[in-house]
Amino acid sequence: MSVKLAAQTLSTSVADAIDFLRKDKRMINFIGSEATSKFIRTIDKLDKLFDICNSSSPKGRFSKSLLNLVNLEERVAELEANANYLRGLRDSHNKKLTDGRRKTAFIGFLVTINCVINLSRGLFKYVLTYKLNQDNLETLSIRIRRRGGWNNNPTTLQFKYALRACL
């Protein structure tokens, strides 16, 4: 499925349409579709979280815009709402996902949200959150590895020169 089609299918307007057909039109095919519309709204909420944590341009719009003094409180409210949502998620045994065996991603999101909020409140007049993600570190690591050729275990001196060449 293409990203564009998935974004259209899992949008808030689709959830609104499902709710409308179930509640207002009382269509038989949409009886019991509450979980579907709730799931779509959850995906949309997490999509906005990804957008906020991936703002890369000062000219971005809506949830993809940078965090600055103008939209700070609105974005912080969205981030805190998402953090509360993630903290409240539970598995089929009613155990919090942040306490379970697969907690790493959820705790990582919570740490990211906390860091973005603290950086945007105190240190800078705006924050491009894309600069904080792991892609840049991975790119640097790949470039350093490439400089070593076949040697995947460089000495300290080789690493120093490779890093200097990359920067």
The structure tokens listed for 106 are 């959820």
d(CA 127, CA 55): 8
Average pLDDT over residues 70-92: 87
d(CA 140, CA 77): 34
Q: What angle do CA 121, 123, 127 make, to 5 degrees?
A: 75
Amino acid identity, position 88 = G
Domain regions of the chain by residue span: 1-52, 58-131, 134-167
State the pTM of this model.
0.63
d(CA 43, CA 7): 10
Q: Is pLDDT of 123 > 70?
A: no
Average pLDDT over residues 65-92: 86
The structure tokens listed for 35 are 């979980």
